[in-house]
Amino acid sequence: MAKSKNKAIYAVALVLFLGGLGYLIFSGLTEDTVYFLDVSKALEQDPAAMGNARLFGKVSPDDLAIVDGKLGASFFLVDKMQDDKRLRVAFKGALPDTFKEDVEVIVEGRFAPDGKVFQARTLVTKCPSKYEEKSRELEQAKQQAAM
């Protein structure tokens, strides 16, 4: 009798575990999925079917418009490998201090209904290498001071 109770407990635990695992898999594959694409791959997609996406590229100096107070921008995002591949991005929100032309950025959002402009909800700039150089210089100075 005790063995049948243990089997029932194990069966219930297995069903709960498989149910939780199934939910995690299902929720990971639903509409909340965000694609991470470069500009050329994004241009190959159907904008209406793409949904949410995270795009990366460089800010083009051509037709860069920054809202007063750095509270938004409209710019072309250029593919890092193929300069002729670019798409228009509109962002409303506070811009990072490092945002400027030719800086690498990651934008997350979706295409407007007309499919011509990518409406970004978030914008993050990649840290410039000058910060890495300063960090290396500080590390070297610390090592020399320790000697």
Q: What is the pLDDT tens value at each position of the chain, 147 positions in all? A: 556 778 888 888 899 999 888 887 777 665 556 677 888 888 888 887 788 889 999 999 988 998 888 889 999 999 988 888 999 999 999 999 899 989 999 999 999 988 889 999 999 998 655 545 555 565 666 666 666
- Find out whether 56 and 72 touch, Cβ atoms under 8 Å: no
State whether 20 and 86 are in the same domain: no
> 3-state DSSP helix/strand/coil percent for the chain, to nearest 5?
35, 30, 35
State whether 64 and 81 are in the same domain: yes
Q: How many domains does the chain have?
A: 2
State whether 94 and 80 are in the same domain: yes
State whether 120 and 52 are in the same domain: yes
Long-range own/partner contacts, residues 14-23 (CB < 8 A, 24 or more apart): none
Q: Are strands 72-78 and 65-66 parallel, antiparallel or unpaired?
A: antiparallel
Is 139 a member of any domain?
Answer: no
Please give the Cα distance from 59 to 76 (Å, whole number).
Answer: 6
- Kindly report the CATH number assigned to the domain that includes residue 120: 2.40.50.140
State whether 4 and 45 are in the same domain: no
State whether 53 and 113 are in the same domain: yes
Domain range holding 71? 35-130
Is 142 a member of any domain?
Answer: no
Supply the pTM of this predicted model: 0.64
